[in-house]
Amino acid sequence: YNQEQDHYICPQGEIIPFKKVFKDYRTATLKKEYRSSSKQCKGCPLQAECLGRTAKEKKFSVTYYKEEYDRNIQRVESKQGRYMKAKRQSTVEPVFGTLTQFMGLRKINTIGLQQANKVMHLSAIAYNLKKYLKFTQKRAKSGAKALRSLVSEIKVLQYLINSYLSPLNLA
């Protein structure tokens, strides 16, 4: 690809120029079409491999936003991009998986971003409480310790509910 003159060069050295910008009817995205002339491809030794059986000329399309795609791919494949992907996969994605698969949060049936934020906050609270309860139940061995930890858990739950729900104005 030659960026300055906006054309591709085939393996035989022929120029495949830019022809037009069009909107793909299947994906409704902008694309750029590149097309060679049938004269360029006539008698080419790579014609069977390059064009197929029935085509007379080389024609292909590329997304209009190719530069942005390439820049993003380069960013994602960098050292920091791989680190951030691993971090996201280990912290955020398991939470969303648990919320959607096991806690029934497949849809948010509210109107507006403010209401959707409330639903997400409440589901995050529920997720964290379930995680907290699993952690504290493992530590309690005897009945007295279990009762004492249950009382402290209730106090913690009351504190969490009051501190989380008061800024949300759920009333």
In this prediction the pTM is 0.51
Report whether 17 contacts 23 (CB < 8 A). Answer: no
Q: What is the pLDDT of residues 117-152, one digit of tens each?
A: 888 888 888 888 888 777 766 665 566 666 676 677
Asked whether 63 and 30 are in contact (CB, 8 A), the reply is: yes
User: What does the domain layout of the chain look like in residue ranges?
Assistant: 7-65, 92-133
Which of 5-19, 70-84, 92-106, 157-171 is predicted least confidently? 157-171
171: confidence class by pLDDT, cuts 50, 70, 90: very low
